[in-house]
Amino acid sequence: MQRCQGCSHWHWPAVSRCSECGAWDPPWQDVPIEGAVFSWATTWHPFGGTEAIGVPYTTVLVALPHADNRRLLGLWEGEEGELSMGAAVVGSVGATMVGKTEVPSLRWRLAR
Amino acid sequence: MRSTVISGLAELSAMKSSGDVTALGLYCQVAREAAADAGLERGEIDGLLIHTPFDGFSLYWPTVLADTLNLKLGFFDVVELGGASAAGMVWRAAAAIEAGLCNHVLCLTADVFTGLGGVRDLMPGQRQEYEMPYGASPPNGYYAMVARRHMHQYGTRPEQLAKIAVDQRTNAMATPGALFGSKPLTIDDVLNSPMVCDPLHLFEVVSPCSGGAGVVVSRRSAAKSAHAPISILGAGEAGSHLNIARRPDITHSWAQDSAAKAFAMAGLKAADMDVAQLYDCYTIAVLILLEDLGFCAKGQGGAFVAGHDLTWSGDFPCNTSGGQLSYGQPGGAGGMIPVVETVRQLMGRAGERQVLNASKGVAHGNGGVMADEVTLVLAN
Ligand SMILES: [Zn+2]
């Protein structure tokens, strides 16, 4: 993730300039893909644009303790019944088809 | 804004399809009906605010509409705050009149439903790139996450959310033009309806349709309506992020700020309101707005809706024309429903569902995922 060299603010989505202090091109820093479940939702009826993901699928919002608890979205790889608020999870990078384009996307599962 | 009033209104029936009629056609119809309702001739209209319709984005939209209607304008613009656009138009129109730019502003919304693809393509790039690959580009996913968080933090129950849809359906049954006005709902009906995005059920999610609605904001001294003009006592607007997920606590919205400004300007508080018309893309939105506007404490929304009758004849008349959940969501015109219905109630023109002695009301618009918030405090 991007972390501002001027004010240490974490950015997601990526920015070319820090919204807090105005520094240009905040550098990227490796962050462990692990965090705690903040909320989730299971889609049974897609709204559009997500047809490539078979329903039902669960989208999780995960707070990253190593990045000031900034929250990242991701697809849930486990059973929905495993999810609970605050559960420790780890992520990996997969890919999702959006229209004809393959886009990298995070996948989360329970930390073991 | 005491020198301006709302002098007229128009609202088309919600339609599953508008056939061959484009949003431009619906805009023209709403414009004529609203102007007539305000008692104005074409030449007296000198202001126009609209939103961008889904079926055809173009530059110069207000000019296109002015050209089509042969209007001569001194003030025209697009207001693009998603579902808060309509409420946002009202205070902008009033401010323009107070600045001396014009006397009568048409504030119009209209959309034809052309499928979700068109909506998606107009979404900001951030959503397309960072949210869609996770299946969360739609508002469904985020509102569902907000609902789950609200349930977790405050013990809010699905049947409490469902009651909002049930009471609004009762209101729609007294509303001509409502898309879902023929069949009552029970809490069990809502909870047994298909899950769209867990924990939100089908009957807790708006159904897109076609339609249009608008109001006329006039200089008080120039108002000609046969109906008693409605005063704009207070207005507030707030927002900063595209998505509520960026907030520290996603169960609070910027509506707290917009409402605080509007009520302070009016010198009134939530409890003074006789009717509340709150943007209702989902049941959870209504619940959060009830809390954020100050009708109850944060976290008490579930108990509030369970303990009050939200129908037009109840002790807390809310979304008295059925709201978008039961009237239908005609795109950007869905955001005009709270404004038009508040004005109608305060003018005493709500017919069968008229709230007795309604003299003050709040109309609230909400855009994005609880992102753009506009509160209007109106009175007769
Ligand atoms: Zn910075």
Q: Which residue has the higher pLDDT, B56 or A107?
A: A107
Q: What is the pLDDT of residue A38?
A: 95
pLDDT at A81: 87
DSSP character string of B111-162: E----HHHHHHTS-HHHHHHTGGGT--SHHHHHHHHHHHHHHHH---HHHHH
Cα A69 to averaged position of ligand 1 atoms, centre (Å) = 17
CB B82, CB B368: distance < 8 Å:
yes
The answer to whether residues B370 and B83 touch, using CB atoms and an 8 Å cutoff, is no
Q: How far apart are CA B376 and CA B373, in angstroms?
A: 10
Cβ pair B134:A49 closer than 8 A? no
B305 in a structural domain: yes
Distance between CA B36 and CA B58 in Å, rounded? Answer: 28
Nearest residue in chain B measured CA to CA from A56: B197
Residues A11 and A62 in one domain: no
Cβ-defined contact of B137 to A41 (cutoff 8 Å): no
pLDDT band at A79 (very low <50, low <70, confident <90, very high): confident
What is the total count of domains within chain B? 1
Q: Is residue B120 part of a domain?
A: no
Same domain membership, residue A86 and residue A49: yes
Same domain, A94 and A64: yes
Q: What is the pLDDT of residue B57?
A: 72
Q: Does some domain include residue B67?
A: yes
Q: What percent of chain A has pLDDT over 70?
A: 93
**Does A85 lie in the same domain as A66?**
yes
Coil, helix or strand for B100?
Answer: coil
User: What pLDDT does residue A51 have?
Assistant: 65
Nearest to B366 by CA among B276, B237, B273, B264: B237
Q: Does A98 touch chain B (CB under 8 A)?
A: yes
Determine the distance separating the centroid of ligand 1 and the alpha carbon of B63, expressed in angstroms: 41
CB of A39 within 8 Å of a chain B CB? The answer is yes
Q: How far is A112 from chain B (nearest CA, A)?
A: 23
- Same domain for A91 and A62? yes
User: Is residue B194 a part of any domain in this protein?
Assistant: no
Whether residue A105 lies within 8 A of chain B, CB to CB, comes out as yes
Q: Does some domain include residue B234?
A: yes
Do residues A1 and A43 share a domain? no
Residues A37, A22 within the same domain: no
B148: CB partners within 8 A, 6+ apart: A39, A40, A41, B199
Which residue shows structure tokens 């907000």? B146
Nearest to B132 among A50, A71, A85 (CB): A50
B178: in domain: no
Parallel, antiparallel or unpaired: strands B360-367 and A70-76: unpaired
**B189 found inside a domain:** no
Angle CA B67–B69–B74, to nearest 5? 65
CA distance B225 to B217: 11
Instruction: Identify the CATH number of the domain in which residue B46 sits.
Output: 3.40.47.10
Asked if A38's CB is within 8 angstroms of B140's CB, the reply is no
Question: A89 CA to chain B: closest CA distance, Å?
Answer: 16
Q: Is A44 on the interface with B (CB under 8 A)?
A: yes
Task: Tell whether A7 and A62 lie within a shared domain.
Answer: no
Q: What is the pLDDT of residue B137?
A: 53
Structural domain count, chain A: 2
Per-residue pLDDT of chain B (380 residues; tens, 9 = 90+): 889 999 999 999 999 988 889 999 999 999 999 999 999 999 999 999 999 888 877 788 999 999 999 999 999 999 999 999 999 999 999 999 999 999 999 999 999 987 765 555 556 555 555 566 666 656 888 899 999 999 999 999 999 999 999 999 999 999 999 999 999 999 999 999 999 999 999 999 998 899 999 999 999 999 998 899 999 999 999 998 777 667 788 999 999 999 999 999 999 999 999 999 999 999 999 999 999 999 999 999 999 999 999 999 999 999 999 999 999 998 889 999 999 999 999 999 999 999 999 999 999 999 988 889 999 999 99
**Residues A15 and A45 placed together within one structural domain of the fold:** no
Q: How far is CA B122 from the centre of its chain?
A: 20
| ipTM attached to this prediction | 0.89
Determine which helix (DSSP H) or strand (DSSP E) holds A3, and give its type and residue range: strand A2-3
Asked whether B131 and B137 are in contact (CB, 8 A), the reply is yes
Residue A79 makes CB contacts below 8 A (sequence gap 6+) with none
Same-domain pairing of A11 and A55:
no
Identify the pLDDT of residue B218: 98
Q: Which of A1, A39, A93 to mutate to test the interface with B (most CBs of B within 10 A)?
A: A39
Q: Quick one: pLDDT at residue A3?
A: 94
**Same domain flag for A40 and A9:** no
A19 touches chain B (CB under 8 A): no
- For residue B185, tell me if it sits in a domain: no
Provide the angle, in degrees to the nearest 10, between the axes of the packed helices B283-292 and B139-154. Answer: 50
Tokens for B375, please give them.
């509160």
Q: What is the pLDDT of residue B107?
A: 98
**What span, in angstroms and rounded, lies between the C-alpha atoms of A104 and B340?**
44
**Domain limits for position A15:** 1-30
Single-letter code of the amino acid located at A91: G
Same domain, residue pair A1 and A53 = no
**Mean pLDDT of chain A, nearest integer:** 88
pLDDT-based confidence at residue A49 (cuts at 50, 70, 90): low
Cβ density class B213-231: b for 16+ within 10 Å, e for less: bbbbbbbeeebebebebbb
Interface probe with A: pick from B197, B242, B243, most Cβ of A within 10 Å: B197
**Cα–Cα distance, A59 to A41 (Å, whole number):** 5
Domain that holds residue B362: 4-114+207-379
Q: How many angstroms away from the CA of A53 is the closest CA of chain B? A: 7
Q: What are the backbone angles phi and psi of residue A42, rounded to the nearest 5°?
A: -110, 120
Question: Residue ranges of the alpha helices (H) in B213-282?
Answer: 255-266
